C-alpha cells in the first residue's frame, strides 16, 4: 500500500464532500433539529401503546381489575423488581405496578407515565419514587438520534457514492492509475469516518450547550463506541457498493437496510416486551449494539468491561463486511 496514493484519494474525497454544501448542511442540520424537537416538543404523549410492568400476583388484583383491562396498554409480567425499577428510570417501560403491595413506580418526567398515573388515581395506590435521579426522555433518545444520523451518513456516504462512481465511469478511469482497490477503499472508509466523527462531535457539543444531556461515563469510551459503530456502518455501505452498478438499485437496497435498523434498534422506543423474534433480529443489527453501548455509558456511567460485548460485536461486523466487500469489489 502506498501512503502517498492513499492520502491523495483521501484528500480528493474530503474535498468532494466539503464542496457539496447540500450534503454537508443536511448532515449538520438534521440531527440538531431532531434533538431540539425531542427536547422541547416531544411531550404530548400521543402514542397509543404504553408499557406497564406487572410484578407479583395476589387476590388483591381485583382492586385494579379495570385498569388491567385498559386498551392500548401492553402489560408485561416481570420477576425482578429492582431491575424493572431501573427500566422505569430509563424510560424503557412507562410504569411498574406491584400488585402484591398495592404500589407503583413512575418516572415523573415521562409523559406516558403521567397519563398512566392519572388512570391509577381512583385506586389509591402508594406512589414510589424511582431510584436515583430521574432521566429525561431526551437523555434516553439522544444516542439513538446520533446513531441514526451516523447510519444514514455511513450507508449513503459510502455505498451510494461508490455506485455513482462506477456508473459515471470514475472507477474505470481510476483503475488505469497506480491506485489499488485496497488503497481506494481505505481512503473512502477513512474519509467518511473523519466526516462522521467531526459532524457527530459538533452536533453533540452544540446541542448539549442548550439541552445539557446526562453524561456520567467516560467521553473517551463514548468516542471509541462512535468510531467502532461508524466503521461497522461504513462497512455495510461498502458491502452494498461492492458490485452494484445502478444508483436506483443501490438506493433501494440501502433504504431496505436502513429502515429496519432505524425501527428495530431502539432508536425511538424500547423493545422491552416485544416479541422475542423481534429482539433477536435487533441483535443482528450493528446499530442496536452501538446505541445500547452509548446509552449505558451516558446514562449509567458504564465502563469498558460493561460494553465489551457490544464493542467486540461491532468489530466483528466491521471485519466481516469489509472483508466480503473488498473481495467482491469490482471497478467496472
Query: For the chain, where are the alpha helices, taking DSSP H only?
Result: 3-19, 21-40, 65-68, 81-89, 111-120, 137-154, 161-168, 170-175, 181-211, 219-241, 247-264, 276-283, 286-295, 308-328
Predicted TM-score of the model (pTM): 0.68
Contacts of 246 (CB under 8 A, 6+ apart): 163, 167
Q: Which residues of the chain have pLDDT under 70?
A: 1, 16-18, 20-49, 57-63, 129, 131-134, 273-274
pLDDT of residue 103: 87
pLDDT of residue 40: 53
Per DSSP, the residues of 92-103 read SSSEEEETTTTE
**CA–CA separation, 159 vs 247, rounded Å?**
10
pLDDT of residue 309: 93
For the purposes of burial, counting CB atoms within 10 Å of the CB of 291, is it exposed (0-12), middle (13-18) or buried (19 or more)? buried
Q: What pLDDT digit, counting tens, does each position of 119-177 carry?
A: 888 887 888 767 555 677 778 888 888 888 888 888 888 887 888 888 888 888 888 88
Architecture of the domain spanning 50-128: 3-Layer(aba) Sandwich (3.40)
Mean pLDDT, all residues of the chain: 79
pLDDT of residue 224: 94
Domain(s) of CATH 3.40.190: residues in the chain: 50-128
pLDDT of residue 102: 83
**CA–CA separation, 245 vs 201, rounded Å?**
33
pLDDT of residue 45: 45
Amino acid at each position: 500500500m502506498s501512503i502517498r496514493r492513499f492520502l491523495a484519494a483521501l484528500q480528493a474525497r474530503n474535498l468532494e464532500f466539503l464542496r457539496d454544501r447540500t450534503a454537508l448542511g443536511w448532515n449538520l442540520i438534521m440531527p440538531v433539529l431532531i434533538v431540539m424537537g425531542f427536547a422541547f416538543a416531544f411531550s404530548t404523549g400521543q402514542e397509543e401503546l404504553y408499557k406497564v410492568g406487572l410484578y407479583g400476583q395476589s387476590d388483591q388484583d381485583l382492586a385494579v381489575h379495570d385498569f388491567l383491562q385498559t386498551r392500548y396498554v401492553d402489560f408485561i409480567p416481570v420477576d425482578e423488581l429492582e431491575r424493572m425499577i431501573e427500566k422505569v428510570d430509563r424510560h424503557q417501560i412507562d410504569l411498574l405496578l406491584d400488585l402484591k403491595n398495592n404500589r407503583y413506580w413512575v418516572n415523573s418526567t415521562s409523559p406516558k407515565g403521567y397519563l398512566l398515573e392519572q388512570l391509577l388515581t381512583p385506586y389509591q395506590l402508594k406512589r414510589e419514587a424511582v431510584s436515583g435521579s430521574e432521566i429525561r426522555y431526551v437523555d434516553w433518545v439522544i444516542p439513538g438520534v446520533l446513531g441514526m444520523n451516523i447510519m444514514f451518513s455511513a450507508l449513503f456516504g459510502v455505498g451510494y457514492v461508490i455506485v455513482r462512481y462506477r456508473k459515471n465511469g470514475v472507477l474505470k478511469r481510476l483503475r488505469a492509475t497506480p491506485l489499488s482497490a485496497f488503497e481506494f477503499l481505505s481512503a473512502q472508509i477513512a474519509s467518511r469516518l473523519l466526516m462522521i466523527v467531526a459532524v457527530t462531535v459538533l452536533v453533540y457539543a452544540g446541542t448539549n450547550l442548550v439541552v445539557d444531556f446526562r453524561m456520567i461515563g467516560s467521553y473517551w469510551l463514548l468516542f471509541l463506541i462512535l468510531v467502532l459503530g461508524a466503521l461497522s456502518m461504513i462497512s455495510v455501505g461498502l458491502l452494498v457498493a461492492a458490485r452494484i452498478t445502478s444508483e436506483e438499485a443501490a438506493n433501494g437496497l440501502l433504504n431496505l437496510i436502513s429502515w429496519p435498523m432505524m425501527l428495530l434498534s431502539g432508536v425511538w422506543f424500547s423493545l422491552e416486551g416485544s416479541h422475542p423474534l423481534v429482539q433477536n433480529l435487533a441483535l443482528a443489527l450493528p446499530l442496536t449494539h452501538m446505541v445500547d453501548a452509548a446509552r449505558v455509558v451516558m446514562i449509567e456511567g458504564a465502563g469498558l468491561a460493561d460494553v465489551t460485548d457490544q464493542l467486540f460485536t461491532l468489530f466483528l461486523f466491521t471485519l466481516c463486511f469489509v472483508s466480503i466487500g473488498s473481495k467482491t469489489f469490482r471497478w467496472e
